[in-house]
Chains A and B, each alone.
Chain A
Amino acid sequence: MIELAGLTKQFDGFAAVDEITLTVATGEILALLGPNGAGKTTTVRMLAAILRPTVGRAFVAGYSVTEHPREVRRRVGLLTEHPGLYLRMRGQEYLDFFGRLMGLSADECRRRGRELLARFGMPEAWEQRMGTYSKGMQQKMALVRAMLHDPSVLLLDEPTSAMDPHSAKLVRDAILGLRHHQRAIVICTHNLAEAEALADRIAIIRRGKIIALGTPAELKTRLLGPPLMELCLSHPVDGIVKLVSDLVSVEAQGEDWLRYSTPAPQQANPRLLHTLASHGVGVFTLSEVPRSLEDVYLRVVEE
Chain B
Amino acid sequence: MVAIPARMRAATGESSRMVLTLVGREIRDTLRDWRIVWPIVVLTLFFPALMSFVADLALNWVARYGGAPIIGERLLPFLLMVVGFFPISFSLVVALETFVGEKERRSLEPLLATPLTDAQLYLGKTLAAVIPPLLAAYLGIVVYLVGLYLFKGWIPPLTLLVLVVLLTTAEGVVMVSSAVVVSSQTTSVRAANLLASFIIIPTALLVQGEAIIMFYANYGVLWWVVLFLAVVDIVLVRMGIHTFNREELLGREIDELNLASLWRTFWGRLRWERWFFGLDVHRMPGWLRWVGTLGGLYGRDVPAILRRSRLALVLVVVGLLCSIGIGCTFAARYPLPPDMLKLDHVSAATFTDLPAVDWLPAFTIGGVLGNNVRALLLAGLLAVFSFGTLAVALLMAPLAIVFFFVAQAAHLGYNPLLFFAAFVLPHGVLELPAATIATALAVRLGATFMSPRQGMTVGEGWLWALADFIKAFVALVLPLLALAAAVEVCVTPSIVVWAFGK
Contact = CB atoms under 8 A, between A and B. Distances in A.
Interface of A: 11-12, 45, 48-52, 70, 73-74, 76, 78, 80-86, 88-89, 93, 97-98, 100-103, 142, 145
B106 A82 contact: yes
Nearest to B18: A101
A98 B251 contact: no
A86 B29 contact: yes
B25 to A, nearest CB: 5
B107 A88 contact: no
16 contacts: A51-B250, A51-B251, A80-B110, A82-B109, A83-B106, A84-B105, A84-B106, A84-B108, A86-B29, A88-B32, A89-B29, A97-B21, A97-B25, A101-B22, A101-B114, A101-B116
The 4 A-B pairs of least Cβ separation, nearest first, read A84-B107, A82-B106, A101-B114, A78-B113
B350 interface: no
B117 A88 contact: no
A247 B409 CA distance: 114
Nearest to A71: B115
Contacts of A82: 106, 109
A97 B114 CA distance: 11
A45 B250 contact: yes
Contacts of A73: 113-115
B113 A48 contact: yes
Contact of B115 (A80, A89, A101): A101
Contact of B246 (A50, A78, A84, A93): A50
A102 B22 CA distance: 12
A49 B108 CA distance: 14
A102 B251 contact: no
A145 B22 CA distance: 16
B327 to A, nearest CB: 49
Given A50-B246, A73-B115, A103-B115, A142 B110 contact: yes
B113 A50 contact: yes
A301 to B, nearest CB: 24
Contact of B261 (A12, A48, A49): A12
B469 to A, nearest CB: 24
A84 B106 CA distance: 5
A85 B25 CA distance: 13
Contact of A80 (B28, B105, B109, B116): B109
B435 to A, nearest CB: 37
A52 B105 contact: no
Contacts of B115: 70, 73-74, 101-103
Contact of A11 (B17, B246, B251): B251
A86 B246 contact: no
B21 A76 contact: no
B33 interface: yes
Given A76-B113, A103-B115, A50 B250 contact: yes
Contacts of B116: 101
B110 A145 contact: yes
B21 A100 contact: yes
A70 to B, nearest CB: 5
Contacts of A93: 25, 28
B112 interface: yes
B247 interface: yes
A84 B21 CA distance: 18
Contacts of B105: 84
Contacts of A78: 109-110, 113
A97 B25 CA distance: 7
A50 B112 contact: yes
Contacts of A145: 110
B110 A98 contact: yes
A88 B109 contact: no
B95 to A, nearest CB: 18
B113 A80 contact: yes
A173 B105 CA distance: 29
Nearest to A76: B113
Contacts of A98: 110, 114
A78 B247 CA distance: 16
A208 to B, nearest CB: 14
A200 to B, nearest CB: 24
Nearest to B247: A51
A148 to B, nearest CB: 11
Given A70-B115, A73-B115, A52 B25 contact: no
A97 B111 CA distance: 10
A49 B116 CA distance: 11
B28, B29, B105, B109 — most chain A CB neighbours (10 Å): B109
B109 to A, nearest CB: 4
B261 A50 contact: no
A83 B106 CA distance: 8
Nearest to A77: B113
A70 B109 contact: no
Given A50-B247, A97-B25, A86 B113 contact: no
Interface in B209-235: none
Nearest to B112: A50
Contact of A70 (B28, B117, B261): B117
B259 to A, nearest CB: 13
Contacts of B28: 89, 93
Contacts of A101: 18, 21-22, 114-116
A67 to B, nearest CB: 14
A106 to B, nearest CB: 11
A145 B109 CA distance: 13
Contacts of A85: 107
Contacts of A103: 115
Nearest to A142: B110
A234 B246 CA distance: 68
A70 B15 CA distance: 12
A145 B113 CA distance: 11
